[in-house]
């Protein structure tokens, strides 16, 4: 990295409107689509990567309950909105954010995400869930065969069968 990245962690409830707008602009530029509708999840924790005063990288997590097979649901740090400003990509900023995120969620049972680039996350220690995915809805289980998930084992993660089923609770917006 050419310049030192400063990483700040902020609870979504404490996020100033101007910073939220910066996150939306950053993610919109990185994903090439309006990101405003995607920041709807309750109680997010944001990791903000700054070069000086410029926001250049972002990730956030929300608490979800993922259930491997018939085991008890696991308190999961579910990662969303990993993005780096296109002008600053390829410099390791998102990797620094993700390493800091892994340390920040070490007290969870598990970390998970829906990957946009599986090879990128695999380099950071994330593993692809190979088994079937589904959503636990009020009216039953909804199979989600077109979805993908990756997990990061944390100190409290129990033994997992990555070829077995994995379900998440239903939520508004993107299910995974």
Model confidence pLDDT, tens digit, residues 148-166: 999 999 999 999 999 999 9
Q: 132 with 145: CB under 8 angstroms?
A: yes
- How far is 173 from 47, CA to CA, in rounded Å? 21
User: Model's pTM, two decimal places?
Assistant: 0.94
Q: 22 with 10: CB under 8 angstroms?
A: no
Q: What is the pLDDT of residue 174?
A: 86
Tokens representing residue 152 in the block: 């990061």
The structural domains of the chain, ordered by start, are 6-169 (3.40.630.30)
- How far is 168 from 41, CA to CA, in rounded Å? 15
Spatial CB neighbours of 99, under 8 Å, sequence gap ≥ 6: 124
Tokens representing residue 12 in the block: 């979504």
Q: What is the pLDDT of residue 69?
A: 95
For residue 169, pLDDT beyond 80: yes
Q: What mean pLDDT, rounded, does the chain reach?
A: 95
- How far is 41 from 44, CA to CA, in rounded Å? 7
pLDDT band at residue 39, thresholds of 50, 70 and 90? confident
Compute how many other C-beta atoms are within 10 angstroms of the C-beta atom of residue 144: 18
**DSSP string covering 112-174:** EE--S-HHHHHHTT-EE--S-EEEEETTEEEE-TT---EEEE-TTPPP--TTS-EEEE--SS-
Tokens representing residue 83 in the block: 């993005």
Tokens representing residue 4 in the block: 């030192």
- How far is 94 from 117, CA to CA, in rounded Å? 12
pLDDT band at residue 42, thresholds of 50, 70 and 90? confident
């Amino acid at each position: 990295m050419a310049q030192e990245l400063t990483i700040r962690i902020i609870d979504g409830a404490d996020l100033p409107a101007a910073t939220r707008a910066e996150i939306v602009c950053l993610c919109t530029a990185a994903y090439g689509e309006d990101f405003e509708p995607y920041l709807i999840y309750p109680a997010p924790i944001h990791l903000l990567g700054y070069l000086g005063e410029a926001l250049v990288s972002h990730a956030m997590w929300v608490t979800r309950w993922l259930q491997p097979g018939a085991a008890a649901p696991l308190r999961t740090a579910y990662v969303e909105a990993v993005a780096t400003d296109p002008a600053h990509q390829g410099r390791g900023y998102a990797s620094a954010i993700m390493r800091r995120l892994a340390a920040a969620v070490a007290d969870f049972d598990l970390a998970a995400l829906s990957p946009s680039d599986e090879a990128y996350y695999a380099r950071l220690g994330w593993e692809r869930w190979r088994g079937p995915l589904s959503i636990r809805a009020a009216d039953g289980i909804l199979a989600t065969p077109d979805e993908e998930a990756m997990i990061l084992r944390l100190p409290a993660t129990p033994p997992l069968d990555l070829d077995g089923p994995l379900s998440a609770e239903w939520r508004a917006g993107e299910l995974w």
